[in-house]
Amino acid sequence: MRIGVLLLPADPWPRTVERARHLEAIGYEHLWTYDHLSWRRYRDRPWHAAIPWLTGIAGVTSRVRLGTMVTSPNFRHPVNLAKEAMTLDHVSDGRLTLGIGGGGTGFDATVLGAAPLTPGQRTARFTEFVEVLDGLLRAPAYSHRGAHYTVDEARMIPGCVQRPRLPLAIAAAGPRALALTARLGDAWITYGDPAASDQSAAATERAVRTQAAILDERCAELGRDPASLERIYLIGNTDERPLASLAAFEDFAGRYERLGFTDIVFHDPRPDDPVFTDDPAVVDAIADRFAR
The domain segmentation of the chain, as residue ranges, is 2-290
pLDDT at 238 over 90: no
**CA pair distance 205, 192, nearest whole angstrom:** 7
Q: How far is CA 182 from CA 59, 189, 212, 240, in A?
A: 33, 12, 11, 28
CATH architecture of 2-290: Alpha-Beta Barrel (3.20)
Express as a percent the part of the chain with pLDDT over 90.
91
Q: For 161-215, what is each residue's pLDDT tens digit?
A: 999 999 999 999 999 999 999 999 999 999 998 888 888 899 999 999 999 999 9
Cis peptide, bond prior to residue 265, ω within 30 of zero: no
Q: What beta strand segments (E) does the chain contain? A: 2-6, 30-33, 65-68, 96-100, 141-145, 150-155, 168-171, 187-190, 230-234, 263-267
Residue 280 near residue 270 (C-beta atoms within 8 A)? no
Residue range 55-91, pLDDT digits in tens:
999 999 999 999 999 999 999 999 999 999 999 999 9
The mean pLDDT of the chain is 96
Instruction: State pLDDT tens for residues 100-115.
Output: 999 988 889 999 998 8
CA-to-CA distance for 51 and 92, rounded, in angstroms?
A: 12
Residues 144, 135 contacting (CB under 8 angstroms): yes
Give the model's confidence band at 127: pLDDT under 50 very low, under 70 low, under 90 confident, else very high: very high
* CA-wise closest residue to 81 among 4, 165, 181, 180: 165
pLDDT at 198 (0 to 100):
87
User: For residue 46, what are the CA distances in angstroms to 5, 35, 41, 135, 220?
Assistant: 20, 14, 11, 35, 45
> Residue 292: pLDDT band by 50, 70, 90 thresholds?
confident
